[in-house]
Structure 1
Amino acid sequence: MTAPTEPPTALRRDPRALWRAARGPLAIAALLLAVAVVVAALSPRTNRGVLDPQSPAQQGSMALATLLRERGVTVEEARTSADLHDVGRGATVLVPFPERLSRIQLDALAATEADLVLLAPSDGQLEVLAPGVTVDSRTGSEIPMPAACLLPAAVAAGPAVTGAVTYRAPRDAITCYPDEHGAAALVQVRAGGRTVVVLGGDDAFTNADLADEGNAALAMNLLGAHPRLVWFRAVPEGVPVDEQRSLTELLPEGWVWATYMGWVTALLAVLWRARRLGRVVVEPLPVAVRAAEAVEGRARLYRRARARGHAAEVLRDAARNRLATLVGTGDRTGMVAAVAARTGRAPAAVDALLYGPPPVDDSAMIELARALDACEAEVRRA
């Protein structure tokens, strides 16, 4: 066997040589860190302030929230599924980003009895929150369109910009802002005993477009139907429903087939190299170990580990098993009473001997062993 090679003496004694050997990997690590920082700094943050009721930016919704408050509507923000537990009837929940919802958040929205307003949801969210409504097209009109329906909120608003997504709805639903193919950009359905409004975009809710056409009236009519509005800007609580994938879906198809072929190859190799075993041959053990030696060896291990409690429990358990055979019961109460009756000892003393606390030192351990032997001998004589 060759001895392990030691580093050169120059590297072990000269710090400068060690630095020269390590500066290459350190330089690569520093370069990677710098690239990561630059990429993170230059990455667009398009979602910052978007549809935020406290943001005065172009894509924020501070103007709409202010108008609703002036109208007497209480505007609250919710971020997690736990914030929706106390939301019930007499309230409206606005979901500006349905595509971000995880399964736990979808279940929380489905459990609440408040009315819902969903902005541009996909089929994954519609299946849970608005059954029967499906996405028809994502190339709808982004110009003001007439309501062309009997929904009071849309009729009062008139033409409005409803977004680029259109939907198909069941017959009992109310559809507004239809396109030439019969799909609608606004759908209102009854689901779970509450009203769910599905809107194909968020243009009518932003500061930049709120004043255009009937956008403000449409947004205020949809969100101001109840005195309480919960603005649900969800934070991550798991993987969004639309992004949930199984392991096999994440792996490329070639990797799946390669895995199967690898298992087949391994199985063939096992069959090829497997030895043909004959009948079982019985051989005597090379060494016979006496029981006393085994007991002494285990006792030395207990003593080395100072496991007095474990050793004492082993002694007590063995004594209790032998006493149970002698007195005819293994129950604690019955055994204590029977042993006390046969030996004349107090029941409390018998209970402490057989079920008491562990010894505090080695001398107490020896005394416990002697007491157990004496008690067992008294029961046998009785």
Structure 2
Amino acid sequence: MSFVPTDPLGLDELLSPEDAAVRDTVRAWAADRVLPYVADWYERGELPGIRELARELGALGALGMSLEGYGCAGATAVQYGLACLELEAADSGIRSLVSVQGSLAMYAIHRYGSEEQKQRWLPGMAAGELIGCFGLTEPDAGSDPAAMRTHAKRDGTDWILNGRKMWITNGSVSSVAVVWAQTDEGIRGFAVPTDSAGFSAPEIKHKWSLRASVTSELVMDDVRLPADAVLPGVVGLKGPLSCLSHARYGIVWGSMGAARASFEAALDYARTREQFGRPIGGFQLTQAKLADMALELHKGILLAHHLGRRMDAGTLRPEQVSFGKLNNVREAIEICRTARTVLGANGISLEYPVMRHATNLESVLTYEGTVEMHQLVLGKALTGLDAFR
């Protein structure tokens, strides 16, 4: 068998025909609907047509992809991961749209919501007709969500919700926000219709990362909610943290998509860019960079596959997701930075995807658990000692 530079370990052999079909379908959609336009979206700092994109992603079965019922595709964890990889190979903002919709907002309702809540929200969200967001992070509570100030008080049979959430993907275009708040009973989740009086979602501007993505603040000023807005299936931080673990799994795969796009751009450039009378790919220093990038990229994809098989078997632990998120995002950023050096000055141009992926990954490195938090999760798992406090 011949050696394939873009698949040096033959990882395609790990895929079933169904897996490959999912990957190829999402890759073709991204090539048609995202790649021709995303540099312009990024430069302008907007994601135009997000609702149309959401409906198309719903038609692909990419929203709530690994959930069962309610119009969801019921795909395997590996198939969902492959979709995340292909989406982030186009842009992290597109993968974030899908992750927040499916792995955070839909997952929370699917796992912890009442049957009425599931019937009300999930079919429309799976189809992309309704967009959802997930409100956990606050201006003063990021890595320490237990310190959140958003609170909900009972008023008769209703709830009165007050607070602020920050850095919320999809916020200003959402129909429903899953908002986590302090209550007298502990932290509870609420399915909040975004047309509720007192709810607003001003968009956050002036970002230098995830520019082709809608990012908002959520503002709740005396939002009155009926009793059936609360998610009945969970009390405490285990609710939002379990959702985050599900979403982090998608990042394990998605970050490798950004890395792959940058590596392949560098590999193609090295074969064609000539200096000193020959392609720069013929020089030892460039080949060393390409070899090191290929090593880390395909080790990361192998790790993602392994975690996906464990998730499908029902044996994946949150600490293992932290392992994957910490390693793969960190290595993806390094791949992007190395690819930029291969491209030289051209590497900072939006004519190539490398700098866009590198800046996007700076956000991916931080959200859904910073490097330090995942190091401490693993440190606790390794030693049995809690260093968080």
TM-score class, shorter-chain normalisation, is under 0.3
Larger helix share, 1 or 2: 2
Structure (1 or 2) with the larger CA radius of gyration: 1
What is the TM-score when the length of structure 2 is the normalising length?
0.20
Which is bigger in relative contact order (C-alpha 8 A, separation at least 6)? Answer: 2
